[in-house]
Structure 1
Amino acid sequence: MIHFITSRTQISQKSIQNTIELLNEDCTIPFIARYRKEKTGNLDEVEIGQIVQFKEHFEALEKRKAAILKTIEEQDALTDELKAKIEKTEDLTTLEDIYLPYKKKRKTKAETARKNGLEPLAKMIMSQRVNDLEFTASKYLSSKVEHIDDALEGARHIIAEWINERTDVRNNIRYQLERFATIATKVVKTKKEDEAAQKFKDYFDWEENLSRIPSHRLLAILRAEKEGYIRVKISIDDERALQKIEDRIIRSHNECAEQIELAISDAYKRLLFPALSNEALSIAKEKADENAIKVFAKNLQQLLLGSPLGEKRILAIDPGFRTGCKIVCLNAQGDLLHNETIFPHAPQHQSKEAMNKLSSLADAYKIEAIAIGNGTASRETEQLVKRVYFKNSVEVFVVSEAGASIYSASKIARDEFPNYDVTVRGAVSIGRRLADPLAELVKIEAKSIGVGQYQHDVDQTQLKKSLDTVVEHCVNKVGVNVNTASASLLSYVSGIGPKLAENIVNYRNEHGAFTNRTAIKKVPRLGGKAFEQSAGFLRVKNSDNPLDDSAVHPERYTLVKQIAKDVGKKVDDLIGNSSVLKQIKLQQYVTDSYGLPTLQDIVKELEKPGLDPREKAKAFSFNEHIKTIDDVKEGMILPGIVNNITNFGCFVDIGIKESGLVHVSNLSDTFVKDVNEHVSLHQHVQVKVLEVDTSRKRIQLSMDF
């Protein structure tokens, strides 16, 4: 395993070995990365994630090898040479090629020919030494093989199967598919005019090299095929491929060569190309999935680590026209204090009453900020709010509603607000997202948040795994207040999980707030291992030990006390005391258990304990004259917010229903390798309108002007 992982990464053997030992001890990636730096050689979460990934690959490969060896052994076909070949294989594709001749097959033409006694004839043809083939074939006639042509055809079926099972032949076709394959599409004529098909119009008649097709385009093409609007075909130069096989097999110019040539053509068209072109498309799809998932993961991380407003008293509005705007008032901890509905827009037009109501609620609940959902009637509601007179200063924010409807109908929302309907829950979620996006968004299935593309088309297992890793990383990077966090948030803390998270919340509800980190051990089923893995990421405010509200792990409290004693201070006096902390000679505290990386982390944490790595939320205003796509004109310069990032550019919310696309070519005046290096999610930007296609609801924007 160590050799397997080392050959696929740039990580040292010692680091890999120590990391695997920690993983086998049920340590989590965030814990290993943060608190076991000396053991891993200071590996970060990405590198540890690579080790985990290749460890799983290796284990899956070994499991498959064991199953294959058992199957071949049961057939009495396992030789020492074959066993060694299988055991040395480090690639799943090669392993399956080795296994192919021994694989239990459904009834094939070759199998029928073998039962009819034609395998010796096939071997003679393959030897290419038979002079009178017709006479030789006549010896194999029977009641089931009545004609010489039938005998030769049966022999060719067997030869075709042998050719199909040759690893060198398969690898040569794989090479040609990898280098030269094209993917072409044709529109299904009966569906061409369908309204739903128009979004795939660009791919009605498309051709491109399979190895160069961008991931987003391949996924779009495959979705269009799945929905029945186009047909997809993979092609290579068939004549060239056949010639390559013939060059490997045919060594004569007699009648045998003619039969083998026919068998090669049959093997290629019936067995090799269909299977291997599907394999090539699957590999391309896997790469496209991987790419799309990476983009989704980057976007999700930026969204989860989005700027929180913090503990403020918030009035949140879920805007609407006919059904009105749902208002909720939340205290600084996000608890619901009041809810009602106002009807400022059409058809009721009760704007004056709505403005009075907003003013009085803001005064009554000492509101510090207003959060407005960015869905239907958002712009109109924002403009109304900005006309309201507030006695105290109130900041106004427009908040993404993506996934809010999924949360409001979920079990989590029903458990939190059993006596309120979905509209109230949705408004509460909008307000809480402003206060702390991470704490609120973890309650929604990550792929429903809407910051990726083709999330329903990619491998769902891989997507979930990747997004769960991102959520876990973000939660542990920020840290969690154990006395206010929801079960959803706690479940992503290193070493906790859903069941323990519920136990923590239940214990908290029954016994009151935790007074220190040690008290967390009293939670049912939260044992020593779970405490070790989670304690450093759980914060306890106002504890009798100031380190409980920091990322310093309890296992290092004694060390911190010793450092404090050596400099003649109490631990409380060390915290935030940069001048004293900078004078500490860390080298004298290095032991076999911990080295400089851990000591440097401790000092950094003591300087600013429990520091939230996220920036504070900032208010933003759209152009008040732009309300629909009809108001958007070519050449306009507009303010906007980046609301999605893809490999081909980014989408920008300019304050209307349709987001505009800044294509990668319009992002900068220099070459753009990675869109994420130029923009980030929720970044405030200025964009220029290049083109407006009202019929297709598409807006082309530029940031390079």
Structure 2
Amino acid sequence: MDTNARIAQLIATDISAQPRQVDAAVKLLDEGSTVPFIARYRKEATGGLDDSQLRTLADRLSYLRELEARRATILESVKSQDKLTDELARSIVNATTKSELEDIYLPYRPKRRTKATIAKENGLEPLADGILNDRSVDPEALAATFITENVPDVKTALNGARDIIAERLSEDATLLGRLRDFMRAEAWLTSSVVAGKEAEGAKFQDYFDKREKWADVPSHRALAMLRAANEGIVTLDIAPDPETGAPRAAGIVAQALNVGQGGKGDDWLRTMAGWTWRIKLSLTMMVDLMGEMRARAHEEAIQVFARNLKDLLLAAPAGAKSVLGLDPGIRTGVKAAVVDATGKVLATDTLYPFQPKNDVNGAIAAIHRHIAQHNVALIAIGNGTASRETERLVADAIKLLPKGIPAPTKVVVSEAGASVYSASELAAKEFPDLDVSLRGAVSIARRLQDPLAELVKIEPKAIGVGQYQHDVDQSRLTKALDAVVEDAVNAVGVDLNTASAPLLAHVSGLGPVLAEAVVAHRDSNGPFKDRKSLLKVARLGPKAFEQCAGFLRIRDGEEPLDASSVHPEAYGVARKIVAACGRDLRDVMKDPALLKRLNPADFADDTFGLPTVRDIFGELEKPGRDPRPSFKTAQFTDGVETINDLREGMVLEGTVTNVAAFGAFVDIGVHQDGLVHVSQLADRFVKDPHEVVKTGDVVKVRVTEVDVPRKRIGLSMRKDGGTSAKEARTERSAGPSHGTGRPQRHNGKSAPKPKQDNSQGALGAALLEAMKKR
């Protein structure tokens, strides 16, 4: 089997597909096609692989190509040493992972001078071979014949033989594989506090003396312990049970030497196998499994972040309505910005309803003025410090509106990342004359209109829906989050004549440079009249047009199909379908019932198969449909504004702000998110919280625990009302506490990311820093 066929077969197994599907997708990727384009417009070629399968395919393709390059390098290296046998070549060719390949290469890798090397130089390799080959011989008697000037006694000779055999064992790929499998099944992870670090590391107290099976350690707990170890608070060890597991591990090493009951040679080798396990191989296994645990935890944390980000990006948009955005603040005032239905800034203001000015009447008058002058339909209130106080102010202002002025709807909006955007180069370019704090109010207003269009302006890692995101592989995290943004943007589609450059940059085939070129062309020449006009944009060639055109929308343009997701290459098929209806295209798009009498199979051919034709039918039935849900917002309970207002048993409405492996965080309007532990999400067993909730969901919860000093709020979504606070704490004793919440805000701006609050309980405090604050 050649290299490409082997890669296709391996990937096909991973994504539950056929090798021919993988081959087709790989060819398209190599030609420069993007995942969204292939998933949407090349279904016939790939057999309908979806974007998730294609993302996995692309990741595995990169890994396996690196593996093949390394395989070729190793084969060449061993061959140059004149040590490449047919059996060794087969082992190298059949290796399916990088670690397996490196295990095989270990004996042939150039190495530094070791004790085994010195023993060989002293002529002790024949002694090692002699003990291995004849177990009836007394090793001490045999060693006596190897005494020289450099080997003064029997002990030195036997130690040298031991070092030679131990090095061979540590380079035995089969043995290493068996030990790794044994450790994965039997190893325990142990965390112990460093003497004298108890006070400094109080936030990690759950891990001062903790022991659990390595295979069962969840991602969030592994990352917490790794952080504690990195900060010098605890030491970590991965090892089998010393009473039962360690002897079994030593036995596996002895089996590699075929140790039996033959004589003194076997007795010496058995002892030597135990020494090799304790001194050499146990450390190797610990390092390997520590790396595996870290990689596994990173991957799970990245997946959690990616899923939460996707849910947030695809949250329901309020739509094209004028919005008054309010960024709450106390001493420095509430920053206000009004944007029209297109997101254009119409006015800005600063209100001072709180101390020290306490100008409530002036603030209400300003709100009335903005509502009346700009026909404000929605008021977006950031959910930071003074959010509930500002919400109460807005409610009072709406009640006092003069007759004849329509009352806007107030909505509390997550301000995650707003301060990051406000201080960014992009915001400075977009609003050069606006104060940084006022830019935040604009961002809050716009993200209510269209969360996706506004959030793409913020680095995904700053949006704050991750789990220990600062601890994971940042390159891998960035790649995964960028893919989520790309998929979300292309799933929704982008209005070519209103989209910002940051939004266009995520459209398939464009990128930042072409996005800027599109906006520049639009500014110079006016709105695009049709999709084909894109080809007039500087540096935007046929390939880029092919990739991006289907994801760009032109509303009320010369070509009705430009407002749909039908790709220009398939306009001919769409027109045949319309002609078969006997009506005008616009009539068909307004009355999809006309399509019901047609059979999609009648319009399929060798170029456009049935999957594409069905997509066209679907788009003609609902042209330009938005896959996002309809807009809905949580209604916070009056009189419940701080954690001190909470009581056990209260039933409240809130919005899911973050979903982690251990549960979901919910904003109930008290400046401190509560945790619905995974055990409290439903009246059934829940393995993955994402099965039940996603970021942005509006949910009803019951308060089960309120710990004011440690700012902990326990919530339940169970129909039976959830467990009591005591029971909830017991359930969480093996898992994380839940002290995460919003960062405190000072002077109207987000404060720098704090260290873990030592007042938080154990892991709950660690979560404060581990999870990106909103």
Q: Which amino acid aligns with 2:395?
A: K
2:218 aligned residue (207, 214, 218): 214
- Taking a change above 3 Å as real, the CA distance of residues 565 and 637 of structure 1, as seen in their structure-2 partners, is closer
Partner of 2:206: 202
Do residues 526 (structure 1) and 528 (structure 2) align? no
Partner of 1:348: 357
- Secondary structure in 1 matching 2:457: coil
- Secondary structure in 1 matching 2:96: coil
Q: Which amino acid aligns with 1:284?
A: M
Q: Which amino acid aligns with 2:391?
A: E
1:315 aligned residue (308, 321, 324): 324
For the Cα contact (< 8 Å) 2:326–2:444, is it kept in 1? yes
Deviation at 1:378, TM superposition (A): 0.6
Do residues 190 (structure 1) and 196 (structure 2) align? yes
1:596 aligned residue (587, 607, 610): 610
Matches within 5 A, 1:311-460: 311-388=320-397, 389-390=400-401, 391-460=405-474
For the Cα contact (< 8 Å) 1:560–1:571, is it kept in 2? no
1:55 aligned residue (61, 68, 72): 61
Structure 1 length-normalised TM: 0.96
Deviations 1:218-262 (A, max 9, x none): 111112222222221212021221123223422354443344234
Deviations 1:506-528 (A, max 9, x none): 22222222111011111111111
For the Cα contact (< 8 Å) 1:447–1:455, is it kept in 2? yes
Matches within 5 A, 1:490-639: 490-639=504-653
Deviation at 1:135, TM superposition (A): 4.7
For the Cα contact (< 8 Å) 2:600–2:617, is it kept in 1? no
Deviation at 1:468, TM superposition (A): 1.3
Distance 1:133 1:190 in 2: 47
Percent identity over paired residues: 45
Partner of 2:23: 17
Deviation at 1:51, TM superposition (A): 2.3
Distance 1:50 1:620 in 2: 35
Partner of 1:264: 273
Do residues 172 (structure 1) and 164 (structure 2) align? no
For the Cα contact (< 8 Å) 1:667–1:703, is it kept in 2? yes
Partner of 2:232: 228
- Taking a change above 3 Å as real, the CA distance of residues 420 and 115 of structure 1, as seen in their structure-2 partners, is farther
Deviation at 1:494, TM superposition (A): 0.9
More deviation, 535-544/108-117 = 108-117
Deviation at 1:627, TM superposition (A): 2.4
Deviation at 1:374, TM superposition (A): 0.3
For the Cα contact (< 8 Å) 1:314–1:369, is it kept in 2? yes
- Taking a change above 3 Å as real, the CA distance of residues 219 and 395 of structure 1, as seen in their structure-2 partners, is same
Do residues 291 (structure 1) and 309 (structure 2) align? no
Partner of 2:112: 106
Deviations 1:13-63 (A, max 9, x none): 222222222222221111111111122112211122232232222211101
- Secondary structure in 2 matching 1:17: helix
For the Cα contact (< 8 Å) 1:156–1:262, is it kept in 2? no
Partner of 1:150: 156
- Secondary structure in 1 matching 2:196: helix
Q: Which amino acid aligns with 2:207?
A: Y
Distance 2:393 2:40 in 1: 48
Partner of 2:746: none
More deviation, 550-559/503-512 = 503-512
- Secondary structure in 1 matching 2:545: helix
- Secondary structure in 2 matching 1:8: helix
For the Cα contact (< 8 Å) 1:188–1:228, is it kept in 2? yes
- Secondary structure in 2 matching 1:525: coil
Q: Which amino acid aligns with 2:434?
A: Y
More deviation, 566-575/313-322 = 566-575
1:38 aligned residue (26, 29, 44): 44
Structure 1 gap ranges (5+): none
Distance 1:606 1:560 in 2: 8
Partner of 2:247: 239
- Secondary structure in 2 matching 1:154: helix
Distance 1:598 1:50 in 2: 23
Deviation at 1:293, TM superposition (A): 1.7
- Count of aligned positions: 703
1:472 aligned residue (479, 486, 489): 486
Partner of 1:90: 96
Distance 1:421 1:671 in 2: 50
Distance 1:309 1:180 in 2: 53
Distance 2:347 2:353 in 1: 19
For the Cα contact (< 8 Å) 2:335–2:441, is it kept in 1? yes
1:669 aligned residue (657, 678, 683): 683
- Secondary structure in 2 matching 1:86: helix
Deviation at 1:312, TM superposition (A): 1.1
Distance 2:583 2:631 in 1: 37
For the Cα contact (< 8 Å) 1:19–1:39, is it kept in 2? yes
Q: Which amino acid aligns with 2:226?
A: L
Distance 2:193 2:516 in 1: 52
- Secondary structure in 1 matching 2:15: coil
Distance 2:582 2:654 in 1: 54
For the Cα contact (< 8 Å) 2:592–2:622, is it kept in 1? no
Partner of 1:305: 314
- Secondary structure in 2 matching 1:551: coil
Deviation at 1:6, TM superposition (A): 2.8
Distance 1:334 1:531 in 2: 27
For the Cα contact (< 8 Å) 1:488–1:501, is it kept in 2? yes
Distance 1:120 1:353 in 2: 96
For the Cα contact (< 8 Å) 1:128–1:251, is it kept in 2? no
Distance 2:71 2:252 in 1: 31
Partner of 2:729: none
Distance 1:501 1:114 in 2: 65
Deviation at 1:357, TM superposition (A): 1.0
Deviations 1:512-555 (A, max 9, x none): 22111011111111111110111000111221001111101000
- Secondary structure in 1 matching 2:649: coil
For the Cα contact (< 8 Å) 1:488–1:498, is it kept in 2? yes
Deviation at 1:344, TM superposition (A): 0.5
Deviation at 1:652, TM superposition (A): 0.9
- Secondary structure in 2 matching 1:268: helix
For the Cα contact (< 8 Å) 2:680–2:717, is it kept in 1? yes
Structure 2 gap ranges (5+): 1-6, 722-774
Distance 1:132 1:590 in 2: 82
For the Cα contact (< 8 Å) 1:404–1:430, is it kept in 2? yes
Q: Which amino acid aligns with 2:224?
A: A
- Taking a change above 3 Å as real, the CA distance of residues 199 and 686 of structure 1, as seen in their structure-2 partners, is farther
For the Cα contact (< 8 Å) 1:128–1:252, is it kept in 2? no
Q: Which amino acid aligns with 2:509?
A: G
Distance 1:330 1:180 in 2: 60
For the Cα contact (< 8 Å) 2:633–2:698, is it kept in 1? no
For the Cα contact (< 8 Å) 1:396–1:619, is it kept in 2? no
Q: Which amino acid aligns with 1:36?
A: R
Q: Which amino acid aligns with 1:212?
A: D
